[in-house]
Structure 1
Amino acid sequence: MPAKARLSQAAVEQRRQDVLRYVADRGALRIDALADRFGVSLMTMHRDLDDLAGRRLLRKERGRAVAFPALTMETATRFRESAGLAAKTALCAAVAGLITPGSTLLMDDSTTLYPLAGMLAWRGRDARLTVVTNSVGLAQRLGGAPGVDVTLLGGRYQSEFNSCTGPDVTRGLARRHADLVLMSATAVLDGHLFHPLREYAEVKEAMLAAADRAALVVDSSKLGRRATYAYGTAARYGTVVTDSAAPAAELAALRATGAAVRVVEPGAG
């Protein structure tokens, strides 16, 4: 019998993400049951779970894989960064056209914007951009990019989200002026924007107040959902960019606020 073909690293990572979602949906599962469910050996499943636990994406304990609480999984950067990457890349490619050389940008801590950092860095010295952000992750991705000057707004460091919040951040924003703010949202329902944590809602409001123009970059998985703290509607954004899986009712609600809504195909970036 011929040897079984070795999976690529991308295929292994896809399986691990599938395992993560399966555990997240069920809360906790025995490791041997997971091995049976995904058709792999017990040793392979242990390796997968060791990797996921090492990245703090789940817990491995007493022969079980255990999910983190739902709030943590919905908001923490380590979960959001690899989710919906094709859609995020397409959204960022679409919004990149709003950025003009020589401008000052505000960018929030949304992982939706992470692909945009690579696009800005690729532009090179002709971009001559100033980026102000509370996101350590974005600052790291843009650091050293030719023609891009990065200012990191310091404050209370939130390790789960790899970003800063608090009065130091909002005061810093009050002293700044930007040409354009780019941000996402954790939840959008009927054109209203929500975040589960008050501190982040306050940062988003301060960013909106500091910029001439605003664009909301939000993938379809965020639409039709509500969280604890509301911070206005899509009417405060001149442009909303989302993907083609967005529910029709939510698109209609966004357009009813007066925002210009652009819909892109995942993978088009």
Structure 2
Amino acid sequence: MSRPRPSQAAVEQRRQEILRHVAEHGETRIDVLAERFDVSLMTMHRDLDHLAGRHLLRKVRGRAVAFPALTMETATRFREGSNVDVKEALCAAVAERITPGATLLMDDSSTLFPLAEMVRGVRNLTVVTNSVGLAQRLGAAKELSVTLLGGRFHGEFNSCTGPDVVRALGRIHADLALMSATAVHGGRLFHPLQEYAEVKEAMLDSAGRAVLLADHSKFGKTATYAYGTAARYEEVVTDTGTPGAEADALRALGVTVTQVTAGEAPRS
């Protein structure tokens, strides 16, 4: 008797588990993956072709090979559920600075997702973002005006980049930009994808003030594309788990560093 055909949700869940396994081990033989996940070799090839087509791993001579961890971490589905309590504390530390009538720029960082709930009651607030997920979270609030920057859509990141986004930002002046970073090392900022680094730079150019929110997991890392230093931000809000040397490097750039602990008041 043949097995019942799995639902699309079950297939997607299996593919996520395959990706996590490959990411944890660096690389794995395809036949070993098929055995581990109890599927045929043909089905495993199909799953891996799907993941490779989304640029989440590579297939090389009978093996599945992981991309650098930072690239995978950039994908929304793999970062949205990490360090949620810390992200909530970071957002709470800046929420009170968002005033009625302001124009706010927010990038596609999942770090900012908890802020959507916190600003819904701010009247006449205009939010400009390249994040579809953030726009959806904000869209239900009648008090807010939400502008979604359209361009090249990246389904895995649920956000837009490209020249259209950069040009649109050039026509906007925001009171405040709230952003995060994929990697910070010695005060320098990095991103594994050039298009996203370019959007972050354009957001900084379009804002009167900018605050960087980054939890401890972002520090001490680098990625392919550098896009300046934290000196372009008036403040960096992080948590107490951030290494002291990294916090000192930020202060050496003249940046205010505010550190929070989940559930507690921030301290500078």
TM-score band, normalised by the shorter chain? 0.7 to 0.9
The separation in 2 between residues aligned to 1:31 and 1:161, in whole angstroms, is 26
Q: Which residue of 2 aligns with 1:83?
A: 82
The separation in 1 between residues aligned to 2:193 and 2:145, in whole angstroms, is 29
Partner SS for 1:199: helix
The separation in 2 between residues aligned to 1:162 and 1:213, in whole angstroms, is 26
Q: Which residue of 1 aligns with 2:252?
A: 256
Is the Cα–Cα contact under 8 Å of residues 186 and 194 in structure 1 kept in the other structure?
yes
Is the Cα–Cα contact under 8 Å of residues 220 and 247 in structure 1 kept in the other structure?
yes
The separation in 2 between residues aligned to 1:31 and 1:212, in whole angstroms, is 51
Partner SS for 1:261: strand
The separation in 2 between residues aligned to 1:18 and 1:266, in whole angstroms, is 29
Of 174, 178, 182 in structure 2, the residue corresponding to residue 182 of structure 1 is 178
Q: TM-score, normalised by structure 2?
A: 0.77
Q: How does 1:1-269 map to 2 (within 5 A)?
A: 24-27=23-26, 28=28, 69-70=67-68, 71-121=70-120, 123=121, 126-268=122-264
The separation in 2 between residues aligned to 1:232 and 1:195, in whole angstroms, is 11
The separation in 1 between residues aligned to 2:94 and 2:17, in whole angstroms, is 29
CA 1:33/1:87 → structure 2, altered by over 3 Å: closer, same or farther? farther
The separation in 2 between residues aligned to 1:246 and 1:238, in whole angstroms, is 18
Letter in 2 for 1:189: H
Q: TM-score, normalised by structure 1?
A: 0.76
Is the Cα–Cα contact under 8 Å of residues 18 and 33 in structure 2 kept in the other structure?
no
Measured after TM superposition, the shift of residue 127 of structure 1 is 2.7
Any idea what the Cα deviations from partners look like across 1:16-56, whole Å, max 9, x if unmatched?
A: x9998666322449689989xxxxxx9xxxxxxxxxx9xx7
The separation in 2 between residues aligned to 1:197 and 1:188, in whole angstroms, is 15
Is the Cα–Cα contact under 8 Å of residues 208 and 214 in structure 1 kept in the other structure?
yes
Is the Cα–Cα contact under 8 Å of residues 244 and 266 in structure 1 kept in the other structure?
no
| Structure 1 runs not aligned, ≥5 long | 1-16, 36-41, 43-52, 60-65
Any idea what the Cα deviations from partners look like across 1:190-237, whole Å, max 9, x if unmatched?
A: 001111111111111110011110000001100011111111111110
Measured after TM superposition, the shift of residue 163 of structure 1 is 0.6
Measured after TM superposition, the shift of residue 251 of structure 1 is 0.3
The separation in 2 between residues aligned to 1:86 and 1:180, in whole angstroms, is 24
The separation in 1 between residues aligned to 2:116 and 2:142, in whole angstroms, is 12
The separation in 2 between residues aligned to 1:267 and 1:34, in whole angstroms, is 40
The separation in 2 between residues aligned to 1:67 and 1:92, in whole angstroms, is 35
Letter in 1 for 2:134: L
The separation in 1 between residues aligned to 2:19 and 2:257, in whole angstroms, is 33
| Structure 2 runs not aligned, ≥5 long | 1-15, 39-47, 58-63
Partner SS for 2:181: coil
Is the Cα–Cα contact under 8 Å of residues 105 and 181 in structure 1 kept in the other structure?
yes
Any idea what the Cα deviations from partners look like across 1:85-117, whole Å, max 9, x if unmatched?
A: 111111111111221111000000101101111
Partner SS for 1:207: helix
Measured after TM superposition, the shift of residue 136 of structure 1 is 0.5
CA 1:32/1:202 → structure 2, altered by over 3 Å: closer, same or farther? closer
Measured after TM superposition, the shift of residue 265 of structure 1 is 0.3
Letter in 1 for 2:141: A
